Structures are given as structure tokens and as C-alpha cells.
Chain A
Amino acid sequence: MKNTKLIHVVDTTLRDGSHAVSHQFTAEQIAAIAGGLDAAGVEYIEVSHGDGLAGSSYNYGWALLSDEEMLRAAAGAIKNSNLTVLLLPGIGTQEDLEMAAHCGAKAVRVATHVTEADIGEQHIGMAKKLGMQAFGFLMMCHMAPPEKVVEQARLFESYGADFIYVADSAGAMLPEDVKARVGAVVEAVKVPVGFHAHNNLTMATANALAAVEAGAIFLDGACRGLGAGAGNAQTEALVGVLEKLGYQTGVDFYKIMDVAEDIVEPIMHRPQVVRNAPLMLGYAGVYSSFLLHTYRAAEKFNLDPRDILVELGRRRMVGGQEDMIVDVAYQLAHGKGGA
């Protein structure tokens, strides 16, 4: 039986993909990709430093452009899509959000660790005040049982979030894990639910479909999967797969393939394949953006990146704790092990 349900696509090539190019997107690249995505009919285009507004730093890597320059480059190329930003409370602030709105951002994803939604209350409030669409975005959902994800999703809903996202930031979930969490959230909240996949265990597209089966109507993707760790679900593949299953996305399959192949692929620093370290991210349940920082620390301290990742997973580090990669590497190199 054909399904005519609409799935809303959020493309995060210019945000999650920022990790894969060490936050070095140029204004021309941003304009070309945003313009291509817009013309292909993508509903939401996320543009930010990989770690969100104000993410440019020693801890997360310096961006080539300021947040404002990135947003202006994208806004100038977008006609119909919603320019979207990411904000991690504790890194970005309400002031940053005001700047983004001023640059033309129409939506914000307020992202917190899966147990900490309450640090996003003021930012959701500010988004609504600015007339933006607000997503409550729960990261690292593999670390919490479905009941906890539901409790936190309800908090975001109570603050006024228009949509709730379940994010598999470590690419650690299997389809059954996705269904359990997304399904429980869909039951519990009145607002639409979405899912953000990572491909560390090569499950990104399968997990995205599991989320849809469990009731999600928003999905994240990135062209060629460009993103942290082994990358995201591949937007052009998602569009094709959803179309085969009879879902509508409003995205032109040919055009999105062209954006991926003609615009995104030539600027990639490396193919987005599942090498051993990203595979270990998924296996150990570690935040995907730790990957490139881990490679650097492994080289500096002469360690196997996988050992660093396993230790980070054992310590239950959460998103944003990139600084602990050096801590772990230092302790491992000095034989202190699990400090």
C-alpha cells in the first residue's frame, strides 16, 4: 500500500557537515549549497558551526567565517526554505539567537543532552519571542531509556517547542532503539517529532525509516551524509528511499542528487565512509563530533584513536566535552588509565 504522508526534510550539510570540513566552509560554498538545496525543495536548511552558534573556539575548532557571515551567505541564496540554526545552551546564548534572527534565520534547534532539556527553556522562549520556529532537540538519546526521553520531550513541549527531535548523536542506536524512543515520544507529545541519525554503525537510513515507522514526520539528512563521525543519513538517499516507499518530501530527487554530486562532493575533505574510528564511536556510544579531535590527540600522544574513544564512552562523556579527549589521551599516555 502506498503512503502519501509528508515527511519534512531538514538538511544539515551546512551545520553537521561543518564538522567534516573542520568548520572551513567559505561564503561561496555556503551560498552554492544553500541555493541548491532551496531549489531542490528542501524545507529546512540548517547553517551553523558544527557545535552551533558561538561554537567557533579552541574547544570545538575555529570557523573560517563568523556565524553572521555564514548566515548572511546562506540567507542571500535562499528563496523558499527556512534558514535554520543550531544553538547549544551553555555554548550559544540568547544574544546569538537574536543575531541569527536578524540575519534571516526562521527556525532554531535548541539542543541539549537528553537529560538536560531545562537548560534550553530561556532559548525556546527567546525563539518564540523572535517569531521563530523552535525545535527542542534531545542529543545522545541512546544514553537514556525511553521514559527519560519522554520526560525531557515533555519539558521542551511545555516551554513552547513546536517540534521535538530525538537525536542519535553518537550513531549508536539500532532500529529497535529508535522505535522505542521515537514511538514513546510520539505518544507523549502533541507536537510533531523528528529524528537525527548518524551513520557510525551504518544504520543511518535504516534508523531514519524506523523513526518514520514509529511516527516521526521530520528527518535530518546531509548531502553525501556530510557530518560528524561517519556522517548523517544521506539526504539524497533518504529522499529516494522515502519516494520508493510512497512518502512525499517535497524534495526533487534528481535535483538533490545533483546538489550532492556537483556541489557538495567536490568540496569534501575526504570520502564520508565508515572507517574504524567512527565505527568505534557508534559502538562505544561517543558523540560523533569527537572524531577529528580524537585523531589529532591520538597522533599527539601516540595512541590508537579507538582506545581514546572506548575510554570516553566508559566515562560517559556527553556532547560538547571535546576537552576531555585531551584529558583521556593524557591520562592514557601517562599510564593513569581510568581516572
Chain B
Amino acid sequence: MDKVKVAVIGPGNIGSDLMYKILRSRHLEMALMTGIIESEGIKRARGLGIKTSTAGVQAVLEDKDIKIVFDATGAKPHLQHAPLLKEAGKIAIDLTPAAVGPYVVPCVNLDQVKAEPNLNMVTCGGQATVPIVYAINRAAGARYAEIVACIASKSAGPGTRQNIDEFTQTTAKALTVVGGAQKGKAIIILNPAEPPIMMTNTVYVEVERPDEQAIRTSVEAMVKEIQSYVPGYQLRVPPLLDGNKVTTIIQVEGAGDFLPRYSGNLDIITSAAVAVAEKLAQKILAGEVAA
């Protein structure tokens, strides 16, 4: 076995984008796409020769060879799926705001990720900004981090819109828990401009030691790391110092796998989820993780 079998639950936009990324992976095999109704996403997967089901999580539980499961449904369904997947010995990578397991931001804490039964991918804004906060914190100490994520209206689905408080709260928490800031705050703005704008994130950090050179070096190194799994991630404005306040602006252009390029917000979270699965798969294949 040189690839680990994975499943995607939730054949919507995120699930479909995950599928294309998994199909390109050297370590993952796209074994199943499952939903609860016959849908465009199910048809799309079937058209690519992938096994599909409309039996939801049940189809995953019945296949003992599936080791890693991406959940791209919603917070409520994931709360039901999580214990079932855990009991079946499968690792869940949760792209919903359910936050059952610990937050993972690949370039920050992927190495610490053990075979937790459940890993949460925070939010798109968290994936884009937590690494910058982490990079600034390690160079200069972050007393406070505040981020403003601006997303094209077309790239914010009904799930995000109806639960916008969960975005701000989860992202703010990840700025501290994973980013290392002592306090965090997150703001999200939707912009309907046409053609759609690229995802833009502004990261403000109040630092303990305003050492511009150390901060720049740390941030630039981090940007390179992120680019290894999100090629469209770039600095628009490098860290600017104003007293103890550091302002950094980044832009995320999507890979355009299934979603349009302006959906960098969705691309960064699916890319991060696949990066996590690949890391776990390598561990499974090397026999480091019981599977």
C-alpha cells in the first residue's frame, strides 16, 4: 500500500475542491465521496470514476480501509459524525466550525499533530492569518493580534453568512491558541465588487520588541512556507512598524482547482486540510501511526 484511502463527506464546493486536490496527491487515494442526496457534486465525483454514496457518514463507516475522512458538511452534522468516526478508528479532518478537535494550521503546528482522532481546520481567515501572527510572535512577542479578513461576496457561502459570529469567534481564538498572541480579535468583511476581489487579510500585532528586521525576516520565511501548499499566498504590504504596532497585509489567490481563483479563502482551507492529511498519510505509511 503506497497511498492512504480517504473519503470526503459533503460534496459541495469545498468537498469538490478537496476532491481535485486529493486526486493530485502522491499519498492520498480518493476512495469515496459521500453526501445525503443525489447532487451535482456526487455526479461530478462519479464522472471522475470515484466511488460515491448518498448514505452520508454510514458509507464511510462501512469501509474499513478508509483511514482519513474530510468533513465538509456543517457544524451540526459534524457533531454527529465525530463520535462515529472516532469509534470506527478513522481520523477526521474537520472543515466545519464544530471545533471538536484541536486547531491545526499546517505551517505552525503540523509537526505537533499526532494521530488525534479529530483535527479542526479553524476558518479560512485563521488559515491565512494565524501563521503571520505566529511568525511575528516568535520574532517579537505578540501581546495582541487583530485581523481583518476581506472576502469576495461570491466566495462566502450560506454557511459562513448565517454563522458569521462563529467565524469571528473561532478565528480570534486561534490567533491566541495557535498564533501565540496573548489576546485576539477577528473582523470579517464581505465585498461584492465585480470582478470579485481576491481574499485580502490585514494582520495587526502589538509587539513586545519592535525589531523591524527580525519581524520581516520571520514573516518572509513564513510566507515561503505557506506558498509551498498555497502558491497564491503573497505579501501585499510587508510588516510596517508604527511604534509597537505591526501592520502586514497579505493576499490569497486560489489555485483554481474547482473554485474560481478569487476564492482564495476557500482554497487556503482545502489546501491546508490536504496538507494535514498528507502528513498523516506519510506517518501511517511509515507505520508511525496505528491505522
The answer, among A59, A118, A316, A339, for a CB contact under 8 Å with B236, is: A339
- CB atoms of A119 and B192 under 8 A apart: no
Classify the secondary structure of B's interface with A: strand
The answer, among A58, A116, A317, A322, for a CB contact under 8 Å with B153, is: A116
Q: When each residue 118-151 of chain B gets 1 if its CB lies under 8 Å from chain A and 0 otherwise, what string results? A: 0000000000000000000000000000101010
Cβ–Cβ < 8 Å partners of B214 in chain A = none
- CB atoms of A122 and B188 under 8 A apart: no
Interface size, A (range): 20 to 34
Smallest CB-CB A-B distances: 9 pairs: A323-B202, A316-B193, A58-B204, A93-B165, A115-B192, A90-B188, A320-B189, A323-B148, A118-B161
B245 within 8 A of A: yes
- In whole angstroms, how far apart are the Cα atoms of A318 and B194 in the complex? 13
- CB atoms of A58 and B146 under 8 A apart: yes
Docked complex: B164-186 residues within 8 A CB-CB of A: 164-165, 167-169, 185
Cβ–Cβ < 8 Å partners of B79 in chain A = none
A302 within 8 A of B: no
B289 within 8 A of A: no
The answer, among B158, B161, B202, B206, for a CB contact under 8 Å with A327, is: B202
8 A-B Cβ contacts within 8 A?
A90-B164, A93-B168, A93-B169, A115-B192, A118-B162, A122-B163, A320-B187, A324-B150
A310 within 8 A of B: no
Docked complex: B227-280 residues within 8 A CB-CB of A: 236-237, 240, 242, 245, 247, 249
Q: When each residue 207-238 of chain B gets 1 if its CB lies under 8 Å from chain A and 0 otherwise, what string results? A: 00000000000000000000000000000110
- In whole angstroms, how far apart are the Cα atoms of A6 and B161 in the complex? 36
- CB atoms of A59 and B202 under 8 A apart: yes
B25 within 8 A of A: no
B190 within 8 A of A: yes
Within the complex, what minimum Cβ distance (angstroms) separates A151 from chain B?
12
Closest Cβ neighbor of A327 among chain B residues: B249
- CB atoms of B191 and A316 under 8 A apart: yes
The answer, among B148, B163, B190, B240, for a CB contact under 8 Å with A116, is: B190
Interface centre among B146, B161, B188, B242 (most CB of A within 10 A): B161
B200 within 8 A of A: yes
Cβ–Cβ < 8 Å partners of B206 in chain A = 58
Closest Cβ neighbor of A60 among chain B residues: B187
Within the complex, what minimum Cβ distance (angstroms) separates B117 from chain A?
30
Closest Cβ neighbor of A336 among chain B residues: B236
Tally of contact residues, B, Cβ under 8 A: 33
- In whole angstroms, how far apart are the Cα atoms of A324 and B148 in the complex? 10
- CB atoms of A315 and B193 under 8 A apart: yes
Within the complex, what minimum Cβ distance (angstroms) separates A113 from chain B?
7
Cβ–Cβ < 8 Å partners of B187 in chain A = 57, 59, 90-91, 320
Known: A118-B161, A118-B162, A339-B236. A324 touches B146 (CB 8 A): no
Cβ–Cβ < 8 Å partners of A321 in chain B = 148, 150, 189, 191
Cβ–Cβ < 8 Å partners of A316 in chain B = 191, 193
Q: When each residue 91-121 of chain A gets 1 if its CB lies under 8 Å from chain B and 0 otherwise, what string results? A: 1011100000000000000000101101101
A263 within 8 A of B: no
- CB atoms of A90 and B189 under 8 A apart: yes
- In whole angstroms, how far apart are the Cα atoms of A59 and B192 in the complex? 20
Closest Cβ neighbor of A90 among chain B residues: B188
- In whole angstroms, how far apart are the Cα atoms of A59 and B146 in the complex? 8
- CB atoms of A326 and B168 under 8 A apart: no
Cβ–Cβ < 8 Å partners of A320 in chain B = 148, 187, 189
Closest Cβ neighbor of A118 among chain B residues: B161
The answer, among B185, B188, B200, B237, for a CB contact under 8 Å with A330, is: B237
Within the complex, what minimum Cβ distance (angstroms) separates A335 from chain B?
14
Within the complex, what minimum Cβ distance (angstroms) separates A292 from chain B?
15
Known: A58-B245, A315-B193, A321-B189. A327 touches B236 (CB 8 A): yes
- In whole angstroms, how far apart are the Cα atoms of A136 and B231 in the complex? 40
- In whole angstroms, how far apart are the Cα atoms of A27 and B245 in the complex? 28
